[in-house]
Amino acid sequence: MDDAERTNEVTTMIRDMNRHWTQSWDEEAFGRYIHPDAVAISPTTPGRLEGREAYVAGWRGFVEAAKIHEWNETGYRVSFFCSDTCAVLTYFFTIRFSMGGQEIAMRGRDMFTLVKQGGRWLVVADQFSPEPV
């Protein structure tokens, strides 16, 4: 498999995973993309989310509190490491959602670390933040 094919495999996986929380919440499907020992750092959660259950619960909390109107990802960049068994993917996102009676539009960036296990990619780390203005 060449770099373009590996890059496409990873970006497709992330787009598919994101679809399970941005278009309609599918907790079981979303959780299949997350490594059991995953860690996430988000700008609105103190500390870090540790483990698949906490990671999934964090996203569940958001989608239960918000109504997502629009989600876009652009500018993918993927780098491979460890004989192509680890990848770091970054992209920029825009999201528009309603929460607590307010409509919110936000631009940000996301960085995932993934490992390939059992022939598929899993998220082991995720850090996202708003784009500085």
Just give the CATH number of 3-130.
3.10.450.50
Which residue type is seen at 32? R
Q: What is the pTM of this model?
A: 0.92
Q: Within a 10 A sphere around the Cβ of 71, how many other Cβ atoms?
A: 15
pLDDT in tens, 58-87: 999 999 999 999 999 999 999 999 999 999
Domains of the chain, by residue range, sit at 3-130
| pLDDT for residue 130 | 87
Q: Are the CB atoms for 78 and 11 separated by under 8 Å?
A: yes
Q: Are the CB atoms for 26 and 20 separated by under 8 Å?
A: yes
Q: Which of 120, 98, 110 minimizes the C-alpha distance to 41?
A: 110
**Beta-strand runs (E) in the chain:** 34-41, 49-50, 66-81, 86-99, 102-117, 120-130
Task: Report the C-alpha gap between 6 and 10 in whole angstroms.
Answer: 6
Of the listed ranges 1-10, 55-64, 117-126, the least confidently predicted one is 1-10
